[in-house]
Every structure is written in C-alpha cells, then in structure tokens.
Structure 1
C-alpha cells in the first residue's frame, strides 16, 4: 500500500505546475463579445420501440402529438391515439459566437416523461429559443442515445443513460445574433482565473508585442484594450495577432481532494510548515449469533431461538507521531507525506487536519 501511495504522489510531484505554465493568451482569457448563447426547446422524439412515454402519466405528450398531427392535416382524437413510441423531450444547444444563418450546431436531447429509452428515435422539428424568446435555430434528426436498458420479468439492467442522447450537427441556425464586432473601440479581456499577477503580465506582454500601449489592467480579472487612439485598427485582426502570445500564469496554491475516488492533486506552490502528525484507526465490531435452545426429551417446554452477542474493539497501532519537515518545494511536501506511510483516504484526513492547524499553506478544496 505504501508503494502505491509513493507512486501516486510522485506522479503529482513531477507533473508541470499549473501556476508556472506558459500558455497562450486565448487559453486564459475570454474576449468581450466572443461568447456563446444558450438555446432551449421542447419537442417530440418518435420511432421508439415501445420505450416511449406512457400517456396516462405524461398527458402533455399526447396533447403535443395530436396538435402536431392536426398541423400536418391529420385529424385524430386523443381517445383513438395511444402510441408507445413517442417521448416528450427537452432540447438544448449552444449558439457559437459569430454563427451565421445556415450553419449547424450540436444538440442534446433529454426525456422529461417516463420514457425508458430514446435509442433509435428521431427528433421532430423543434424550434430553439434564447433567453430573449426569439427562435435562433431549428433542430431535427436521429438521436444517438448514450446507454441501453433491458428489462425482464424479475430483473432489469441499465447501462449508461438511455433517456438522454445527442444529435451531432442536429440544429440549423436560422437567425444571427446582431453584433458588429468591427465597431468596438474597447475590448475587455476577462481572465478565467482572476489573479493580479497574471493580469499584470498580460498587460506587459500585449504592450510589448508591437501593437502599441493599448492594454491596461483594470483589476484582477480584467484587462482592457483601448483602440480609440487609432480609427483604422481592425479589432478582429488585432486579436488574431495577440491571442497566440504566451503568458506565464500565476495563482493561489491549491490542494484538491476527491473523497469519492481518493484522488489528491497538489499545485506546484503548495508548502507545508514543520508539523507533527499522529494517526490511528479504531474499529468497533458487534456480532450477533442465533442459537436454538431445546428442552430435554419428554420434558415440558418449547424450542426457542436465543441470540448471543459479542462486541470487540480493536485499535491499530497507527504511525505514532511523525514529523513533517518544513517544505520549500512540492517534492519536499510529497516526500514528507510519503514518510507517513498511510493509505490515500487516511492521507486526505491528515491533509485536512494539517490545514486546520494552519500548517498547510494552500487552499484546500474538498469535492
């Protein structure tokens, strides 16, 4: 077990530090106006093999199907219509920035009724609206489900999520977002991870790239490009020049812990002060054993079941007090934690205790 811990922590020790990496400007900032817009719609998936909504529990599916057929010129009453191959779904998509009419985007389809599976179904023409209520795209196509469900009389097997799926390039853009990027005279660069040091470095790199002193740091999360001094500058061409500039990012030291998988990830700048750690496990085990008590032959009495219990407390010796020396690098931190010789889940508890003691100089994020 100790060898496994050493290998796992050593892997994190020699990964490139996220805080000292030189990355492209386009990977650390979001350009003002260059963003997607969420779309949503309500539609029907047909052609299911008996795995659709039960209309008794989902009457809205029946109402929508009858309305659709009437719109196509087919008159049918709800009493005569009891299909099992139709499911009501919510359709979502993201309209990319600068998407033009006629371009296609991917959509996600999710059942909202009691359908068992969307596998093999076809989404009928569904308008997709944005937050302003206008329709920007129309979706239609065959659904690719992400799982499968099989049922028997006394057993059922479900793999993945059969009630959700995707349609690659399933929506066609019908309306463009009214946004003239070429008229912008001030462009904001929003940092994905706000940090004063990183913002200052972005300002210095942009101003030193030969485009002039147009960048100004406003706060930890914003750098503004001022184009008002030159009327003949094309904002799109300017961004194409600076978006591939490399910037050395910075940020707070972090330790990320995932309790479910026992994963521990440490940033390069994590430091631990000199601290002593003691850790041990206490196990309480209670057992109940049923025993049958019978009377002697030809004696008065009856057979009864008597339960006998036993309790046991076991305490493992643990590691005693182990000293973790003050560390000046991530390698020193890993070496000190490896010296504790505990399992990954015990190591998570130790890290939380070290953080509570004020000896872990990093943000501890527990998922």
Structure 2
C-alpha cells in the first residue's frame, strides 16, 4: 500500500508560546564536555535458526576466532552458524562518565540474519574515534519486533527485528574524555539564539557582580565566555554548579520523539501547530498469479503444462481530510488522525512532513 499525503498551510500566523523560567543547565553545555560515539563489531548467539547463512562468511570467521581464544579450534569452513549473527554495536559515551558506568547499546545485524529476537550479545569491545577501547558490551537483546513463521514459507513480521538494544549492556572501562572547569569557561548553547545568549550573560553578571570588567560576555549566538572570579579559584566546580542553577525566562523547546522501528510516538500535549488542513488517501495495487493446467489435444504429442494467469487490481480510497484551526496541538491532530483510520506509521510520516513545511512547532528526535 502506498500512501499519498498532501498538506496545505491555510494560515501563517505563529502561535504564541509563553516564556517560562528554565535553568541554565538545560540551555548550555560546557565546551569539551560532550558525548562521544562508540562503535564495535560483535556476535549475537542463541538465535532460533534466524542467524546468518553461508553467504555471510565473516560470521563464521568471527565465531572461529572467539572459540580459538577459549581453547577450541574449529575450521570456519565447517561451521553452520544459523544461530549466530554478526552485528555492529553502537553507543553514546556521556561526558564525565567514570569507570564502571553502565550504558545502553544498540545492536544491528550486518549480515543476512532475519531476526535477532532472543539473542545474546557476546562481550564486544567498543572503541572511540581515536581507536581506544572505552567500554565493553554484553547481554540479552530487546528487539521490539518479532517474526512468526508458518507452513509453506508463510511468515508475519512485526516492526524491525534485525535491530535491538541491550539495556545497561555497556560497561565503561575508561573515563570519558572531558575537560574540567578552569579559569575560563566557555559555555555552548544547545540551541543557538542571540536572545538566549544575552539573557544568560545578564543572569551570570547579575549573580556574580564585579567591580571591573563583567565576568561573562556573549561571543556569538552559540557561545558565552565566563571568567572564574578570584574567590572561586580552586573551586571551579562549585562556581559552574551555581551558574547551572541560574534561571532565565525563555521559550521552552518542545520535542516529539519517534521510534519508527516500533511505531512509537511520544508527544507532549503542549506541542503546538499552525493552522493546517491535511488530505490523506491511499492507493492499493494488488497483483495475483494463478497457475492453471493446460491439457494437450487427444492423441497428440503434446504434454500437460502449467500456465500462469496474472490479474492486476487497483483500488483507490477517497481522501480523508483533517482541518485544525489556530491554537491546535499535536495531541488533537493525532486524535483526529486516529478517527480517520491512520496508523502509527501514517502519523509518523505526517509529523515529518509537518516539520518540513514549518507547521510543527517542536523538534523531532528519531530513535
């Protein structure tokens, strides 16, 4: 089934959003204190015949190398590894994470495995961009999808079973590379904005008045330079903690979180929309093949053959419309879309189109 989505912006007025006090820690991050991406290559075992096939030869090589370290020597060419799958393992290393911190890791099949459901990730080193091992990952997978098989090759697949997560499966073996607060702090705004930068600078200078030059100055829309006062020398962490607790009045950003693999959508009721009209229709094309026997004439030398009969059917539904006026929220939009029969994946596509059209007043985060 192919979906036809048409969005028409009927007005360009912007909804008013009340400014609310927010802590500085929700708006800025210390320069150098950021997340780092980790990557690893591993093996998932315990699959019920849904692992890699003969075409993915590197899976057998990986399993053979792992068994060799355990004192078992096996020729990779003699392995039939239907219960094993080669995977890529990824995670984000948070700033200031210490040795022993637990991380969530994401596991994705890279061979021809059909399903990772029920599998267990074997100990996998995870490296940063500099090649250093920062963590190891191991544990059972949660896929959020499944494959049900019946006879004659029939099967039903729900969501995306070749990608999963290991909750708290990563164990940090080295401290995260982060910068410690010093005599000068450079604050990076999470969302570049001249107005927010000016308000944060004003709040810091008001909290820590100085007889000479102001200790904080906005360099641009995305960075603020702060000098540590003399009375906080040696206590930079305490100084930065006080900055984080300052409050400024800004527009609170809204967010819509989407997990397309499972069809999950998380929406705050305060997320606003500009006035819109949505037309939603569906076009279904069905192609079926029927095999009929063809008999030869009596007393002829012909043979009975099977000939395919192909039929093509097209069905197009009437477009269903949704119209929302000023002040409408995403929650109201979702309720209206559910009433006309839209699925979770339809709603995800519509939300992404709304964001592209500038009608959705929120950030979209895809998991």
CA apart distance, 1:266: 4.0
CA deviation map 1:212-267 (0-9, x unaligned): 54211111111111127556252221121121222122699xxxxxxxx9x99447
Distance 1:201 1:109 in 2: 42
CA deviation map 1:75-115 (0-9, x unaligned): 11133211210000000111111111122211111111111
Aligned counterpart, 1:75: 73
Does the Cα contact within 8 Å between 1:138 and 1:174 map onto a contact in 2? yes
Aligned counterpart, 2:17: 17
Distance 1:168 1:27 in 2: 25
Structure 2 unaligned segments of length 5 or more: list them. 1-10, 254-264, 280-324, 329-335, 338-355, 361-367
CA deviation map 1:303-362 (0-9, x unaligned): xxxxxxxxxxxxxxxxxxxxxxxxxxxx9x669xxxxxxx99xxxxxxxxxxxxxxxxxx
CA deviation map 1:93-145 (0-9, x unaligned): 11111111122211111111111111111111110000000101111111122
* Alignment length (residue pairs): 257
Aligned counterpart, 1:94: 92
Aligned counterpart, 2:364: none
What does 1:108-147 correspond to in 2, within 5 Å? 108-147=106-145
Does the Cα contact within 8 Å between 2:45 and 2:83 map onto a contact in 1? yes
Over the aligned positions, Cα root-mean-square deviation in angstroms equals 3.3
Distance 1:71 1:100 in 2: 29
Aligned mate of 1:57, from 55, 58, 81: 55
Moved more, 243-252 or 186-195: 243-252
Aligned counterpart, 1:191: 189
- 1:169 paired with 2:129, answer no
Distance 2:103 2:93 in 1: 7
Aligned counterpart, 1:37: 36
Distance 1:233 1:211 in 2: 19
Structure-2 change in CA distance of 1:22 and 1:134 (3 Å): same
TM-score by length of 2: 0.63
Which of the two has higher C-alpha Rg?
Answer: 1
Q: Secondary structure at the match of 1:117?
A: coil
Distance 2:59 2:88 in 1: 12
Does the Cα contact within 8 Å between 1:227 and 1:233 map onto a contact in 2? no
Distance 1:239 1:164 in 2: 39
Structure 1 unaligned segments of length 5 or more: list them. 1-8, 253-260, 271-278, 282-330, 336-342, 345-362
Structure-2 change in CA distance of 1:192 and 1:79 (3 Å): closer
Structure-2 change in CA distance of 1:169 and 1:230 (3 Å): same
CA apart distance, 1:39: 0.4
TM-score by length of 1: 0.63
Q: Secondary structure at the match of 2:162?
A: strand
Does the Cα contact within 8 Å between 1:198 and 1:250 map onto a contact in 2? no
Structure-2 change in CA distance of 1:129 and 1:265 (3 Å): same
Aligned mate of 2:147, from 146, 149, 153: 149
What does 1:160-309 correspond to in 2, within 5 Å? 160-179=159-178, 181-182=180-181, 184-210=182-208, 212=210, 213-227=214-228, 229=230, 232-249=233-250, 265-266=272-273
